[in-house]
Amino acid sequence: MRPTLSPSAKASAVSKNSSKNYNHKAWRANTRSLSDSHSQGISMHHRFLKIFLSLFAIATLLQATAPEPPQEKSTKAVNPAVKSIDFSMVISGGVSLGAYEAGYNWAMIKMLSEIKTKNLNIDPQLQSVAGASAGSINALLSAMYWCQKESFPYQNSVEDNLFYETWVHLGIDDLMIEGDDPENKSTLFTRKALRDKADKIMKHMGKSIYNEGCEIPMGFAVTKVTPIVEEFQGIKIKNQTFSVPLTFKVSNGKAKIVNQEMRPSTAFYLSIPGIEEDFSKVTDVLFASSAFPGAFQQVKLRYGYKGKIYSQYFIDGGAYNNVPLQLATELDPDARLFIYMDPSNMRKQPKIKQTAIEEKPP
């Protein structure tokens, strides 16, 4: 039986969490803090520092130790005058807080892209991006706008971009199922409005507006509904946590998404057969990664795992892995700096006092 909201609960949800006015305010609050620094007459060096200082509001910079990259991977000319800033992004899920996250996300990508294009002394390089749940959608959009040409301002202004279009013009009334839906008897929301937005994203990828040769490893966390049983050193363990590693790349000015082969790892990675030719498979993975239990239906994916092809159901990747940091590090070990984006307002949460308690044997 599908869960329902009472009239009072629905009204409360509309007014507090999912109204388009709320999403718009959240968006403006986060784009404004970065856009203001862009309009001031300060140097690019100071702009760059200001961006990262402002990110501490919702992002934590994590230093990670990764193995030295193979010598043959280095294709940049060594120029002591240019400071290369290699970074990766880890974007958590946050349900409706994806709107809050997306505003900051777009502004940061916009500013760093302009620095990369116009500044001769600083060279920011997005090495990889990984997301879970709503963060998976923003991860794809981040890769798209990082690779989009600055000379093509198509849908790349404060209130005309796909981050804004996807999150701001979306309220709970757009998601609620009206009447009887014979195809959905178990969840509260429909994906009809989300599918329309996904179609716009895929259409955007088909336009010849991207920098030739741009290539961003990216990946999305997903959770398998039925666990698999793996044997590790003679011990059988159950696992439901998986990731889908991909690469966003540009060919003939248009975007293309391909499976990425990963190095041996303790993580569990899936491939999606045919994703290179069919953007609808990208949509399926995004919907699977953001299929919050009870809210949205499970998504059936056709995937490859350990040389075999399966077809099974998946739900929200944030259920077990809302911070896919390992995925980001393994997508491209060259990166040393990680930007962790979490839409939760943790600054207002009370601090937990740690007390020393002597443990006694049972």
Q: CA 285, CA 299: separation in Å to the nearest integer?
A: 8
For residue 52, being part of any structural domain is answered with no
Instruction: For residue 299, give the nearest of 309, 310, 286, 308 by alpha carbon.
Output: 286
pLDDT of 193 over the 80 cut: yes
pLDDT of 55 over the 50 cut: no
pLDDT number for residue 272:
98
The structure tokens 């039986």 sit at 1
For residue 42, being part of any structural domain is answered with no
For residue 41, being part of any structural domain is answered with no
Instruction: For residue 161, give the nearest of 173, 146, 182, 178 by alpha carbon.
Output: 146
For residue 180, being part of any structural domain is answered with yes
pLDDT band with cut points at 50, 70 and 90 for residue 101: confident
For residue 201, being part of any structural domain is answered with yes
For residue 46, being part of any structural domain is answered with no
For residue 13, being part of any structural domain is answered with no
Instruction: For residue 242, give the nearest of 272, 268, 218, 266 by alpha carbon.
Output: 268
Determine the distance from the C-alpha atom of residue 362 to the mean position of all C-alpha atoms in its chain, rounded to a whole number. 45
Contact 257, 275 (CB under 8 A): yes
Q: CA 234, CA 128: separation in Å to the nearest integer?
A: 34
Q: CA 126, CA 142: separation in Å to the nearest integer?
A: 10
For residue 153, being part of any structural domain is answered with yes
Q: Find the domain containing 124 and state its range.
A: 83-345
- The radius of gyration computed from the CA coordinates of the chain, to the nearest angstrom, equals 21
| Beta strands 254-259; 299-305: pairing state | unpaired
Instruction: For residue 127, give the nearest of 66, 46, 48 by alpha carbon.
Output: 66
pLDDT of 13 over the 50 cut: no
pLDDT number for residue 170:
83
pLDDT band with cut points at 50, 70 and 90 for residue 76: very low
| Beta strands 235-251; 299-305: pairing state | unpaired
Q: How many domains does the chain have?
A: 1
Q: CA 32, CA 36: separation in Å to the nearest integer?
A: 6
User: Where is pLDDT greater, at 23 or 42?
Assistant: 23
Q: CA 129, CA 327: separation in Å to the nearest integer?
A: 9
pLDDT number for residue 133:
94
DSSP run (H or E) holding 94: none
User: Where is pLDDT greater, at 133 or 101?
Assistant: 133
Residue 232's φ and ψ, nearest 5 degrees, are -125, 115
pLDDT number for residue 38:
41
pLDDT of 9 over the 50 cut: no
Single pTM value for the model: 0.77
Q: CA 125, CA 96: separation in Å to the nearest integer?
A: 29
pLDDT of 11 over the 80 cut: no
The Cα angle at residue 45 between residues 44 and 51, in degrees rounded to 5: 85
User: Where is pLDDT greater, at 286 or 61?
Assistant: 286
Q: CA 309, CA 313: separation in Å to the nearest integer?
A: 13
